[in-house]
A = this chain, B = another copy of it.
Amino acid sequence: MSDTTTHVRTNAELDAVMAAAAEAAPVLAATAPGERAKWLRAIADALDADASSLVPLAMRESHLLEPRLTGELVRTTFQLRLFAEVLERGAYLDATIDHADAAWGMGPRPDLRRVLRAIGPAAVYAASNFPFAFSVAGGDTAAAIAAGCPVVVKAHPAHPELSRAVAGRVTDALKASGAPDGSFALVEGLQTGKDLVLHPNVAVATFTGSLRGGRALFDLAASRPTPIPFYGELGSVNPVFVTQAAASARAQDIATGFVASMTLGVGQFCTKPGVLLVPRDAGLEPLVVEAVRASAGGEMLDDKIRNGFFDGLGGLAERDDVELLAGDPTRAEVPTPTVYATDAAALLAHPAELLEEHFGPAALLVRYDSAEQALDVARALEGQLTATVQGADDDEQAAGLVAVLADKAGRVLYNGWPTGVSVTYAQQHGGPYPATTAPHFTSVGTASIERFLRPVAYQDVPDASLPPALQEGNPWRLPRLVDGEPVAAPTA
């Protein structure tokens, strides 16, 4: 296994990595999508082939359980292969052709053709909580390589050995399948992470993690002499609104489903439902208490995350307007799932404090007194990755909530739970700040490739000098927009 790309920590080493990435960038940008599809499948195959060694390593470093990590690796290699399919379909290139038109309404137009192309070297900051799917060979890496961008991953310190092992597989698979040197590298260390986002050769950065860490990197990216797009997925409390009708019809299911989602992976999901809005006195509370008491804790990802979790609960516990409903916030090696409770009026009075994210198995139950008050809470929300409505059939309250929550969240769920983010064409894992720093984009799903592409238009350029995607004969058989009309991909 190659380890030439690991342990990069010094400035001189980072410069060498970034020089190689800059050299590789135009080469990658010019490769055919079908070529990069092979690379992605080679990476997926290499990871699948080594599942029996990678999963135990991930278990040791993350404290997550085997079924979860095996499933996460399936998701990770599925994602790599799905991007290979996206490349083969070609719609992601958004190829658009306007033929010259002397009768164009504002005056004669030239021949104009636009296509998306790789933006340049990408810095990918790995997350702690998905050691496969949001780490070294995770969604950001898959999307960036799919787009044709060299990738430099900043390893998360919570799983260093796994990061190096996966980086070795990726490096070897890329080399074996013909990707140029400089296509991929792994770097480590807090200071290297800061240097990376400031490095002049970096064209785009992606991040999944805490509000504090992500905002610090966002600020660095914006402070550069040449600012770069920074796609940070930072934080979300993923509120769940239970309507009056749903509480009457499905109280037990809702209580059980909520606690299962809240405690999944020891509550360490960015989509963990952290706030549950329930109609006061609708009978849900005792069922939630019961479900919380019946749920199991688990060891957290690392000491820093565990300490942050208990510090946050400490802040809640000190408040007069919050009471402990179930669980135990006592600092321990293995945290107990814990739910606090408050009133909607208190939440509306102190939204910033009460809607802080607690990364771990904890949530806040909020009692509301009327449908209108629940809507007021929805309107007071900051940007969220997800917002969920638990409703019933023909539920007017639910319909009103869906409409308001679409203004606040990247994904609105109905009668489901936000954990478990499917990787599909329509998925949107994003949302207004602080959910992310870039509300136009998603970090999960096929559309996440857009973060690594920028449009270029060609005006009156001879066919032979056009990229194949824009040549008149459509050699890549792409679906295109021609003179304003969608034209389907020609069949072979």
Contact B465 A107 (CB under 8 A): no
Contact A107 B424 (CB under 8 A): no
Contact A106 B74 (CB under 8 A): yes
| Least distance between A451 CB and chain B CB atoms (Å) | 8
Q: List, in ascending order, chain B residues with CB within 8 A of A453's CB.
A: 440
Within 8 A of B (CB), among A77-112: 78-79, 81-82, 85, 89, 91, 96-98, 104-107, 109-110, 112
A332 beta carbon closer than 8 Å to chain B: no
A30 beta carbon closer than 8 Å to chain B: yes
Assuming A105-B81, A407-B26, A414-B460, is B227 touching A422 (CB within 8 A)? no
Q: In this complex, what residue of B is CB-closest to A379? A: B26
A189 beta carbon closer than 8 Å to chain B: no
Q: Which one of A117, A412, A459 has the highest number of Cβ atoms from chain B below 10 Å of its Cβ?
A: A459
Contact A423 B461 (CB under 8 A): no
Q: In this complex, what residue of B is CB-closest to A232? A: B227
Q: List, in ascending order, chain B residues with CB within 8 A of A412's CB.
A: 456-459, 461
Q: From A12-20, A256-264, A360-368, A396-404, give the one contacting chain B.
A: A396-404
| Least distance between A172 CB and chain B CB atoms (Å) | 24
Q: Mark A60-76, 1 if CB is under 8 A from B, else 0.
A: 00000000000100110
Assuming A440-B455, A488-B488, is B464 touching A97 (CB within 8 A)? no
Q: List, in ascending order, chain B residues with CB within 8 A of A461's CB.
A: 402, 412-414
B89, B229, B437, B456: the one contacting A409 at CB < 8 Å is B456
A415 beta carbon closer than 8 Å to chain B: yes
Contact A426 B219 (CB under 8 A): no
A113 beta carbon closer than 8 Å to chain B: yes
Contact A78 B98 (CB under 8 A): no
B427, B440, B483: the one contacting A450 at CB < 8 Å is B440
Q: List, in ascending order, chain B residues with CB within 8 A of A451's CB.
A: 440
Main secondary structure of the interface of A (DSSP, over half): mixed
Q: In the complex, what distance in Å separates the CA atom of A414 from the CA atom of B114?
A: 14
A442 beta carbon closer than 8 Å to chain B: yes
Q: List, in ascending order, chain B residues with CB within 8 A of A315's CB.
A: none
A119 beta carbon closer than 8 Å to chain B: yes
Q: In the complex, what distance in Å separates the CA atom of A457 from the CA atom of B439?
A: 13
Within 8 A of B (CB), among A388-447: 398-399, 402-404, 406-407, 409-416, 422-428, 430, 432-434, 437-440, 442, 447
Q: In the complex, what distance in Å separates the CA atom of A25 from the CA atom of B464?
A: 47
Q: List, in ascending order, chain B residues with CB within 8 A of A481's CB.
A: 91, 425-426
Q: In this complex, what residue of B is CB-closest to A418? A: B459
Q: List, in ascending order, chain B residues with CB within 8 A of A97's CB.
A: 426
A248 beta carbon closer than 8 Å to chain B: no
| Least distance between A357 CB and chain B CB atoms (Å) | 15
A49 beta carbon closer than 8 Å to chain B: no
Q: In the complex, what distance in Å separates the CA atom of A447 from the CA atom of B467?
A: 20
Assuming A119-B439, A412-B458, A425-B484, is B402 touching A465 (CB within 8 A)? yes
Contact B456 A410 (CB under 8 A): yes
Q: In the complex, what distance in Å separates the CA atom of A409 from the CA atom of B117?
A: 11
A462 beta carbon closer than 8 Å to chain B: yes
| Least distance between A139 CB and chain B CB atoms (Å) | 12
Q: In this complex, what residue of B is CB-closest to A133? A: B106
A479 beta carbon closer than 8 Å to chain B: yes
Q: In the complex, what distance in Å separates the CA atom of A442 from the CA atom of B104?
A: 20
Q: In the complex, what distance in Å separates the CA atom of A379 from the CA atom of B246?
A: 62
A11 beta carbon closer than 8 Å to chain B: no
Q: List, in ascending order, chain B residues with CB within 8 A of A282's CB.
A: none
A454 beta carbon closer than 8 Å to chain B: yes
Q: In the complex, what distance in Å separates the CA atom of A455 from the CA atom of B479?
A: 22
Contact B411 A456 (CB under 8 A): yes
B107, B383, B428, B460: the one contacting A455 at CB < 8 Å is B428
Q: In the complex, what distance in Å separates the CA atom of A256 from the CA atom of B109?
A: 21
Contact A459 B112 (CB under 8 A): no
Q: List, in ascending order, chain B residues with CB within 8 A of A411's CB.
A: 456-459
Q: List, in ascending order, chain B residues with CB within 8 A of A483's CB.
A: 425
Q: In this complex, what residue of B is CB-closest to A226? A: B433
Can you list 5 contacts pairing A with B, beta carbon distance less than 8 Å? A119-B440, A226-B383, A416-B460, A440-B454, A440-B455
Going nearest first, the 5 A-B pairs with the smallest beta carbon separation are A428-B457, A222-B222, A78-B106, A114-B426, A112-B426
Residues of A whose CB lies within 8 Å of any CB of B are 25-26, 29-30, 71, 74-75, 78-79, 81-82, 85, 89, 91, 96-98, 104-107, 109-110, 112-114, 117, 119-120, 203, 218-219, 222, 226-229, 382-383, 398-399, 402-404, 406-407, 409-416, 422-428, 430, 432-434, 437-440, 442, 447, 450-451, 453-462, 464-465, 467, 479, 481, 483-484, 486, 488
